[in-house]
Chains A and B, each alone.
Chain A
Amino acid sequence: RKEVEQDPGPFNVPEGATVAFNCTYSNSASQSFFWYRQDCRKEPKLLMSVYSSGNEDGRFTAQLNRASQYISLLIRDSKLSDSATYLCVVNKNSGGYQKVTFGTGTKLQVIP
């Protein structure tokens, strides 16, 4: 089983729709979690951290479910500009340092 797994998609959704992605992780000792966004032929950029209590940033909501070992990203009122690949990131301690693992990403295409 991969350490971090994501549905590669693509998720094709109409403008204005709500879409949600999940990301599962295998190591229960994982400590911190993030969502990154990567546009085509660009570098990944930090979208938001994921806190245990859940957190929201405008149209974006991130949640963590430690019992089931997954994180989620919800995008409300999708815009064309939301089209990108969304990568989840999981940090865990390893030998006194943090090991960071990226998922392979979920591709979102918002359609007019």
Chain B
Amino acid sequence: DAGVIQSPRHEVTEMGQEVTLRCKPISGHNSLFWYRQTMMRGLELLIYFNNNVPIDDSGMPEDRFSAKMPNASFSTLKIQPSEPRDSAVYFCASRVRQGGGYTFGSGTRLTVV
């Protein structure tokens, strides 16, 4: 099992540029989550999908953030335009069933300069 796969591992971009983060969940897991982690705020849930449908996007900071899950094996988180305050580690996680534990990807460390 390859686990949850995220790309890129690191991203450095200039303010105002578009950033796209990618995630491949574990095969058979029907829930996918995007989290952001910073020292100040800890782990924050941005959005989660169940069976490819967005269920709760209340954590998405603002309209600059969008997420899609076109099929069961792929999701993207897009930031357009990016700002320095978006600098954080973005984790994707998947879960096989409600009530179960998550498996996290290795994260994407985003730096916006």
Contact = CB atoms under 8 A, between A and B. Distances in A.
State the main secondary structure of chain A at its contact with B.
strand
B91 interface: yes
Interface stretch (B18-26, B62-70, B73-81, B96-104): B96-104
Contacts of A31: 99
B50 A45 contact: no
B50 A43 contact: no
Given A43-B91, A102-B42, A97 B103 contact: no
Contacts of B99: 31-32, 91, 98
A105 B42 contact: yes
A43 B106 CA distance: 5
Contact of A49 (B101, B104, B105, B107): B101
A61 interface: no
A100 interface: yes
Interface residues of B, number: 18
B14 interface: no
Given A97-B50, A97-B55, A99-B56, A46 B102 contact: yes
Given A102-B43, A104-B42, A42 B106 contact: yes
B12 to A, nearest CB: 16
A108 interface: no
A91 B98 CA distance: 9
Contacts of B104: 43-45
Contacts of B33: 100
Contacts of A49: 101
Contacts of B56: 94, 97, 99
A12 B91 CA distance: 28
26 contacts: A31-B99, A32-B99, A36-B101, A42-B106, A43-B91, A43-B105, A43-B106, A43-B107, A44-B104, A45-B104, A46-B101, A87-B43, A89-B101, A91-B98, A94-B56, A97-B50, A97-B56, A97-B98, A98-B98, A98-B99, A100-B33, A100-B102, A101-B45, A102-B45, A104-B43, A105-B42
